Amino acid sequence: NAGVTQTPKFRILKIGQSMTLQCTQDMNHNYMYWYRQDPGMGLKLIYYSVGAGITDKGEVPNGYNVSRSTTEDFPLRLELAAPSQTSVYFCASSYGQGPNEKLFFGSGTQLSVL
């Protein structure tokens, strides 16, 4: 049972480069999320999706794009990488949405923009 899988685990980008962080889940969850965690800070929601074809902005969406063409996949795209995007990125999924829903997380992608 793979759960939520993120790739890559580590990446170094130069300023202005683009990349896609991949996230896939095999639990048939409707809801998927992207968070970022900066040093000494809590996780902040970037984007989320309530099902295939539907995405919405979280707290800190600027500089990112997402798509949800299938239930399983929820890639996060950085078009013009900036040093402010140096962070650890977590993808998560849940079956439903509500105060008691359990989130399942991937192991994270550590991104450095130099």
Partner 1 sequence: GNSVTQMEGPVTLSEEAFLTINCTYTATGYPSLFWYVQYPGEGLQLLLKATKADDKGSNKGFEATYRKETTSFHLEKGSVQVSDSAVYFCALSGPVADKLIFGTGTRLQVFP
Which residues are near partner 1 by CB under 8 A?
Answer: 3-4, 6, 35, 37, 40-43, 45, 48, 58, 90, 92, 97-108
Smallest gap, in angstroms, from Cβ of residue 43 to partner 1?
4
**Cα separation of 17 and 58, whole Å?**
23
Nearer to partner 1, 44 or 52 (CB): 44
Smallest gap, in angstroms, from Cβ of residue 13 to partner 1?
22
Smallest gap, in angstroms, from Cβ of residue 18 to partner 1?
25
Nearer to partner 1, 85 or 93 (CB): 93
Number of alpha helices (DSSP H) and beta strands (DSSP E) in the chain: 0, 11
**Cα separation of 5 and 107, whole Å?**
7
Nearer to partner 1, 24 or 81 (CB): 24
Q: For residue 24, how many C-alpha atoms fall within 13 Å in the half-sphere facing its CB?
A: 8
> How deeply is 93 buried, as exposed, middle or buried, from its count of CB atoms within 10 A (0-12, 13-18, 19+)?
buried
